[in-house]
Amino acid sequence: MSTFRQKAIRALYEGSLAEVGDPNPYRGESLALAKLWRRGYMRMLSVRIDCGPAMRRYRGEVEEG
């Protein structure tokens, strides 16, 4: 049996591993878990945007290789 804390950590983790466009699996089940999943999802999106090739070009960083 898992505690709510374990479920919350898992929801946050799953959100950060989701792909762009994935639906929230906690929608309609638990508002708190749905919000945590969304927080992880938003973090994943910001990392993809901030670390992507378009942002590197925008910042003027040179790609090595």
Counting every residue written for the chain, the total comes to 65
Q: Is residue 54 part of a domain?
A: yes
Q: Are 2 and 31 in contact (CB under 8 A)?
A: no
Q: Which tokens in the block code for residue 2? A: 């898992």
Q: Please tell me the total count of domains within the chain.
A: 1
- Residue 54's domain spans which residues? 4-59
31-51 and 4-17 helices, crossing angle to 10°: 30
- Give the whole-angstrom CA distance, residue 61 versus residue 65: 13
- The string of pLDDT tens digits covering residues 1-57 is 689 999 999 999 999 999 999 999 999 999 999 999 999 999 999 999 988 888 888
pTM: 0.80
Please report whether residue 16 resides in a domain.
yes
Domain assignment present for 64:
no
